[in-house]
Amino acid sequence: MGNKKLMIILTVIVVAGLVFVYTQQGMFEEEVTTTDYGVEQSETLNTSDAYGVSASHPLAVEAGMKVLEEGGNAADAAVVVSYVLGVVEPYGSGIGGGGEMLVYPHDAEEPTVYEYRETAPESGAEPETFAIPGLVRGMEDLNNDLGSMDMEELIQPAIDYAEEGFEVDGHLVDRLSKGSYRMNVSELEEFFPNNDILEVGDTLVQPELAETLQQIQEGGADAFYNGPIADQILEHEETLTAEDLSSYTAETTEAAHGTFAGYDVYSAPPPLAGVTLIQSLQMAEQLNIASTEDNQRDYIHLIGEISKRSYDDRVENVGDRFFTDAMSADELTSPEYTQQMADTISLDELSDDYEVNDSVSDEEDHDNTTHFVIVDQDGTMVSATHTLGNFFGSGADVAGFFMNNQMENFSQRDESLNSIEPGKTPRSFTSPTILTNGDRMIGIGSPGGKRIPMVMTQVLVKHLMFDEPIEQAVDDDRFYIEGNDIFTEGELDTDVQSSLRARGYEIYNQTEHDFYGGIQALIIDEESNTFDGIADDRRNGIWKGPE
């Protein structure tokens, strides 16, 4: 009996060892965890050949993953995710708005940027007018250039969710509450039944939006810019002309580029805030911010001083590149240029006279965008940020979708590089970004309005300079500094508060988590043969890889 028991024990040990070795050396290993939204969210996958989607709504992630699993590529999944987000997050993006996307094939030297931002009408306009939406044209251009599936098939999931409905979550209810003052509640029965806000668990059905999406599905972008949808837009906004819509074009261009912590950093070019982010990261490295890892008061102070200079430089030197001969993105992100800015920073003194923003919208912070990252089986990465401007854009509903209020992102000053001109694209703080060091690629971005570059700087500094795991860097409490004011997500240590107040800061506890953005990211690491993702729980996002 003793020998038999010994044999059984040895057999169990051997089998367990073989199982361990197999899981370590197999194709990939996936763990899942259940989020508050009743869906399974992937954790680290042990393969560099994995694929996935990180986005701000589970239904968009599900739709994007289905496309990838059926053989579609990153561009195909990006179209699906974009259209679905416009249905399930009508407050954050949609066909009444626009965005920008970095597309980085695995074997390319650098990414291509697709720009389909909103532009001022060619006929001229005031801040109260709509900017010409770009998302529909941008998605069609992307599909024509890089897609492997028919556009009609890629729009269908969005139509299904608009037509059949989906379950309302707390984020949508909260945003309806915050944005209702700009909306004609009595005419938006689907969102405000009996003039009351939808409740969590209700089903939101958007039949008019479904019909509009079907028209795009059948007639392509022309249905939006020249056809029946254009007619409805023009009927709603009399200051626009048919030529304003029909003349809209999307663009492709090169990304803004810089270096940080051994990585090449590619981000959105002017008039977006990729330059601002890159300048912030480079100054952080030039000032050896890594030395403040255990000194929170100096870390917070340096992030604030760095951001003051990069934000002010944005106001001074960033604008639509087709309308200015100002400094190029390459000049603005050169190490020599950012070193000059860094040299003006003191660890002991709080500086002033730095401007954050000069747009109309600074009086009413535009903090609502949506970001997603996609990686396909070939290793192509997409990092995209879409927006309507504020919650639900202008609040004006046309043909079932909300029109943007991006004209308010133009400057109030005629002499500004960001002044209103026909056909011009306003500045934005959005910063879709991809970093790579040859072995590791990080696609990352965030919503959050003017806080986006500062939020992303904090996360990337903690991850790449403090060597924090990306999950911890994203979960850590954040702060936002404007002028002498520090807004903190969590309570700072008493000694840290005293030290910062001694330098001249005022400290306020701002506990609304979506104030601090919502990071979405995917990471391919060929050296360690891992694939990982991030979905910030400050918003509604998840990420998933293959089953």
Residue positions annotated with a catalytic role = 369
> Measured between alpha carbons, how far apart are the two ends of the chain, in Å?
44
Torsion of CA 42, 531, 542, 88, to 10 degrees: -120
Whether the Cβ atoms of residue 99 and residue 134 lie closer than 8 Å to each other: yes
Give the number of other Cβ atoms within 10 Å of residue 262's Cβ: 11
Beta-sheet strands, E only, within 320-365: none
Residues 6+ apart with CB under 8 A from 109: none
Give the number of other Cβ atoms within 10 Å of residue 482's Cβ: 17
Whether the Cβ atoms of residue 319 and residue 427 lie closer than 8 Å to each other: yes
DSSP assignment of 200-211 equals TTPEE--HHHHH
Rg (Cα) of the chain, in Å, rounded? 24
Strand order in the sheet with 251-254: 251-254, 112-116, 98-104, 381-389, 368-375, 52-55, 542-544
The tokens of 10 are what? 């040895």
Beta pairing, strands 263-267 & 433-436: antiparallel
